[in-house]
């Protein structure tokens, strides 16, 4: 089969790989119908996340179940399925609490030995461990494009709103309008919040506006003053969702949030960083972070994609063939695309 492999920073290519086979009772084989290129794939592409040369990358996928192990009961061959970007064992101390994102045996597709040596999904076929937890049947009427968001990008946007306990009538500021931020805007609107969407790219601001948010330009407007004015006597947003993952964004989130408000970090932080922690203490802020618990969210997210309450399809800017993956990564790296869907 054809598979997209990491070679060196700035270089991915199409390789020939053996079609995977079921080797354990909990596994399934999925023939991939659509697979996404994601912002986190760029960490690999840039060499910031180290992956072995020749490893298959990618972690967003929709496909058809080809084969299942004896213990798999929730999906059958022939089912069209969406999958989560990571797997969980279902039995460890964290899984039994529903904290699947911190499963002690968790593996993430397409990140090499760093995250469990699980081959990626930018390929014709993918091996899916823990298929009963990782995969869900896609409701009829939900396109492959839309279903592709359930197990990663929309699941992460949903997590930002759920984990921050955003309530109807509150004000949410969303910092960073990449695909995750824009999905968080949709979910926050659906939760009944007023949404202030902040970025520096005009096209992304207009998209957020079309989802019902008030758009604020990071550089052309005084964002702190605007948020203060728009939130009147609250003095700031009840919740700020940082969908960037940069200390400057984190510090701005601390400043945009009202006293006793909540800051939710969806962006990825893996290194030491300097922020004004005193600000968080003095304002009595609650700060939460961490990887999204997409396995816990995928069922409600799929239900809301099915009835159209959530619709990420405007985020898809490019459809390309899997064979053109090298070009797709170049386009994505130049920030010309929001979401690229590859079809094998």
Q: Which of 28, 32, 37, 89 binds Zn ion (CB under 5 A)?
A: 89
Q: Which residue is nearest to Zn ion (CB)?
A: 38
In sequence order, what are the beta bridge partners of 175? 198, 242
Verify binding: residue 292, Zn ion, rule CB under 5 A: no
CB atoms within 10 A of CB 134: 30
| Residues in 19-38 at the binding interface with Zn ion, rule: CB under 5 A | 38
- 152 part of the interface to Zn ion, by CB under 5 A: yes
95 binds Zn ion (CB under 5 A): yes
Residue 92 binds to Zn ion (criterion: CB under 5 A) = yes
Beta pairing class for 257-265 and 339-343: unpaired
| Residue number, 39 or 212, with CB nearest to Zn ion | 39
Beta carbon of residue 153, minimum distance to Zn ion (angstroms, whole number): 6
For residue 23, give Cα distances in angstroms to 67, 72, 107, 127, 186. 11, 12, 16, 9, 40
String of contacts with Zn ion for each residue 102-131, x by CB under 5 A: -x----------------------------
Other beta carbons within 10 angstroms of residue 114's beta carbon come to: 13
> Cβ 233 to Zn ion, closest distance in Å?
39
Say if CB 109 and CB 149 are below 8 A apart: no
Contact positions with Zn ion (CB under 5 A) in 176-235: none
Q: Closer CB to Zn ion, residue 95 or residue 237?
A: 95
Closest CA to 83 of 45, 118, 32, 49: 32
**Rounded CA gap, 48 and 71, in Å?**
37
The residues binding Zn ion (CB under 5 A) are 38, 60, 88-89, 92, 95, 103, 152
């Amino acid at each position: 089969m054809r598979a997209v492999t990491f070679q060196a920073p700035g270089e991915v290519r199409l390789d020939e790989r053996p079609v995977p086979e079921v080797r354990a009772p909990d596994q399934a084989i999925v023939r991939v119908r659509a697979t996404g290129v994601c912002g986190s794939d760029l960490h690999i592409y840039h060499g910031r996340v180290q992956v072995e040369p020749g490893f298959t990358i990618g972690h967003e996928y929709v496909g058809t179940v080809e084969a299942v192990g004896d213990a798999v009961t929730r999906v059958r061959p022939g089912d069209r399925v969406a999958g989560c970007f990571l797997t969980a064992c279902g039995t460890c101390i964290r899984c039994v609490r529903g904290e699947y994102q911190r499963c002690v045996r968790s593996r993430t597709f397409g990140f090499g030995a760093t995250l469990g040596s699980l081959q990626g999904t930018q390929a014709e076929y993918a091996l899916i461990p823990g298929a009963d937890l990782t995969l869900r049947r896609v409701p009829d009427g939900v396109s492959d494009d839309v279903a592709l968001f359930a197990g990663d990008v929309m699941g992460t946007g949903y997590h930002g709103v759920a984990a921050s306990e955003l309530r109807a009538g509150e004000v949410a500021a969303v910092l960073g309008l990449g695909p995750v931020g824009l999905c968080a805007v949709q979910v926050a609107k659906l939760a009944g919040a007023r949404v202030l969407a902040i970025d520096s790219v005009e096209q992304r601001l207009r998209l957020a506006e079309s989802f019902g948010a008030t758009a604020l330009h990071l550089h052309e407007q005084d964002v702190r003053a605007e948020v203060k004015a728009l939130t009147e006597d609250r003095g700031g947003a009840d919740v700020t969702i940082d969908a960037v993952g940069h200390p400057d964004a984190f510090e701005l989130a601390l400043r945009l949030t009202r006293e006793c408000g909540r800051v939710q970090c969806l962006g990825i932080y893996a290194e030491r960083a300097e922020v004004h922690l005193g600000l968080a203490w003095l304002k009595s802020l609650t700060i939460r972070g961490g990887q999204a618990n997409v396995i816990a969210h995928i069922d409600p997210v799929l239900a809301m994609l099915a009835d159209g309450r959530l619709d990420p399809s405007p985020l898809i800017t490019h459809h390309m063939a899997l064979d053109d993956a090298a070009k797709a990564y170049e386009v994505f790296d130049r920030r010309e695309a929001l979401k690229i869907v590859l079809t094998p």
